[in-house]
Every structure is written in C-alpha cells, then in structure tokens.
Chain A
Amino acid sequence: GEDVEQSLFLSVREGDSSVINCTYTDSSSTYLYWYKQEPGAGLQLLTYIFSNMDMKQDQRLTVLLNKKDKHLSLRIADTQTGDSAIYFCAERGGGGNKLTFGTGTQLKVEL
C-alpha cells in the first residue's frame, strides 16, 4: 500500500519558525493535506495543496511541495505555544476518497 512518513518529534523555541517534513510514495496523489491534532481532540484540517502546485501560503503557514521528490513540508512562522500539537500529513490518491495519513509529528514549543 501507499506510505506516508514523517519524523516523530520537533522542538522549537517560541517565535522561531517550525518546519515539519513529510515524504510519500503515491505518485498519483492529487491532494496533500496538513492536519493538526491537539491533546484529547480529533484532527483539524489546517491547509491543503493540489498536486500541480508547488507552494501555498496561508497567513503563518507555508506549504511546499516537491512532486518530483514526493516531499511535502509545512512551515509555521513565528511559532507560538498554542501551536504545540501533533501534525499529520495526508495524501489522497488519484480518483479515490481515501486519505493515507503519516505517523504524525509532535511539535513542542518551548518558551
């Protein structure tokens, strides 16, 4: 099956930028997503990018997609303590309704 991989843990200082990386194997991916999960809660969609784009910016969030290398990243500018959470990368294969999620990256923001 398709695979999505992320590093498990990232620690940054408040005010710095965070960059969370993701790699995937499905060459037919149409959409790629970033979800945020806060403790004890479900996943919340942060942003997404269509596979024919290479960058998308939304306020403090910047998504970069390198389709050739199947690499996706999420940059959070001016990271705040409220950004501490688990971030999941997910991809949607061509023509399908199913999402394949990565293992999640736990972001810890320190003062």
Chain B
Amino acid sequence: DAGVIQSPRHEVTEMGQEVTLRCKPISGHDYLFWYRQTMMRGLELLIYFNNNVPIDDSGMPEDRFSAKMPNASFSTLKIQPSEPRDSAVYFCASSVSGGDEQFFGPGTRLTVL
C-alpha cells in the first residue's frame, strides 16, 4: 500500500483565497483524522471521521474551516477565506479502527501571504 497520500505537498497562496487540501487514506481504514502543526501550538486535532461521517469537529478553529469525506477513499479540508495565521503543516492520518495505530501522511505545508 502507498500509505496515506496528501496533496499538494506545498501550497502558497494569498490572504483571502480559498485553499483545498486533499487526503487519500489507506484502503480499509475506517477512521480519518486531520491535524494542524505549528511551532506555537504543536500538533492539534482538527476533525476526525468514522466511515465517512464527521465524529468530532471541536478542534476546527472557526467557520472558515470545513472538511468533507464524500467517500471512503477521499477527504478534503477547505479554508475559505485563508489568513496568514492559517500557515502551518496540515497532516492527514488514518487508522483501521479508532483505537488502532494512526498512519500519517507526509503533510501539506501551507503558506498564506
């Protein structure tokens, strides 16, 4: 298996633009997690899905952030409009079940100018 796939690996955009980050979890994994990593706040869980259904989105910073999982093999994290403080590395992870090892993707480094 190729592991968790994220795209793009790097994104540079201007303030106010819409940004869409993509994730393909490992086939057969029922759980998908979105994390954000910054120097100031470390690694934060934004939202997670079970069988394509959002279970806990309490970590989503504000309404500018939204996440979807239209099917078992694809998820998106959208920021609209983006702001400079959204600059971070965004990781997607998946696991077979909620209590199992989470496998992380390589991350998307987002820079908002």
Residues of A at the B interface (CB closer than 8 Å) are 31, 40-45, 48, 88, 92, 96-104
A98 to B58, CA, bound (A): 11
Contact A44 B104 (CB under 8 A): yes
Residues of B at the A interface (CB closer than 8 Å) are 4, 31, 42-43, 45, 48, 50, 55-56, 91, 93, 98-99, 101-107
A97-B98, A98-B45, A100-B45 known; 11 other A-B pairs, CB under 8 Å?
A: A42-B91, A42-B104, A42-B105, A43-B104, A92-B99, A97-B48, A97-B55, A101-B42, A102-B42, A103-B42, A104-B42
Contact B104 A98 (CB under 8 A): no
Contact B4 A42 (CB under 8 A): yes
Contact B43 A42 (CB under 8 A): no
Instruction: Give the distance to chain A from B60, nearest Cβ to Cβ, in Å.
Output: 13
Contact B31 A97 (CB under 8 A): yes
Instruction: Give the distance to chain A from B8, nearest Cβ to Cβ, in Å.
Output: 14
Instruction: Give the distance to chain B from A41, nearest Cβ to Cβ, in Å.
Output: 6
A40 to B107, CA, bound (A): 8
Q: Closest chain B residue to A88 by CB distance?
A: B43
